Amino acid sequence: MFTKSLIAAGVAAVGLMAAAPAMALDTPVQEKGFAFNALNQTFDVTFDGFDDQGGKRRLESVHWSFAGNALLNNAVVNINGDQMVGDPVPLSAIWNITVSSPVGMSDDETLETPGFAGIVPAGGPTEIGTTGLVPIAGMAWIMNSDPITLAEYIGGTDSVSISFHGEGTQGGSVPSTVFSGNNGFAEGLVSLYYDYSEVPEPLSLSLFGLGLVGLAATRRRKLV
């Protein structure tokens, strides 16, 4: 009778575990602002790490996204009287914004002003082109991974950094006495999500183990 009860407990535990598989959940999103006030700028935005609640939760994947607005102005500083720029290659400003985080997660946005060819006066900076205010956005994720791979995202307060890096350049034909005076800004929100599953309760595993013991006892009795 006791053996049958053990078997029943094991079967019930298996049934419960099969009927209620671990469900992937999203933690409440963490959102923080970011802002560039210069083209060549690098900074980090920090977030709280994933709390596994002492092993009760398993981190399955991580994803983040950013969205905002940016403005890029193409400008030149001319130190030698009126001069022609953009001939033969029109002059444009280029701004690359890269967002990255641990385990190789990365995305970027590139802004470029329309090409310009013409005479610029001495002095400056003189604006010769602009993107106007434009939207920027990006995202990155790691799906169906494991806690070891995602270890850098498991931790306490402000333990995870998402890095922002901006790099401005200028492309086109300019005399040696004309220099870049490009400028711009960007701002927005970056959002971080942790996707996790609940680890099965030890009680269910214990019942399953008892059931296996009962099955083994029954097998031995039949063999005797």
| Contact call for residues 115 and 150 (beta carbons, < 8 A) | no
Per-residue pLDDT of 18-62, as tens digits, reads 444 445 566 679 999 999 999 999 999 999 999 999 889 989 899
Fill in the amino acid letter for 17. Answer: M
Q: Which residue has the tokens 């029109």?
A: 90
pLDDT score for 203 = 55
Q: Which tokens hold the place of 155? A: 């931790």
Pairing of strands 25-26, 105-112: unpaired
pLDDT score for 145 = 75
Residue 101, CB half-sphere, CA atoms under 13 Å: how many?
27
pLDDT score for 26 = 62
pLDDT score for 214 = 53
| Contact call for residues 42 and 163 (beta carbons, < 8 A) | yes
Return the SS3 of 110: strand
pLDDT score for 199 = 86
Q: Which residue has the tokens 């535990």?
A: 13
DSSP β-bridge partners for residue 168: 95
CA dist 199 → 83, 142, 160, 182 (Å): 70, 20, 23, 53
Quote the CA–CA distance of 40 and 34 in Å, as a whole number. 15
pLDDT score for 223 = 46
CB within 8 Å of 21: residues ≥ 6 apart: none
pLDDT score for 221 = 52
pLDDT score for 17 = 41
CB within 8 Å of 153: residues ≥ 6 apart: 49, 50, 59, 62, 102, 103, 160, 194
pLDDT score for 220 = 52
Quote the CA–CA distance of 217 and 3 in Å, as a whole number. 7
User: Which positions of the chain have pLDDT values less than 50?
Assistant: 1-22, 204-208, 213, 215, 217, 223
CA 161 from chain centre, in angstroms, equals 10
Quote the CA–CA distance of 95 and 147 in Å, as a whole number. 36
Q: Which residue has the tokens 């959940």?
A: 25
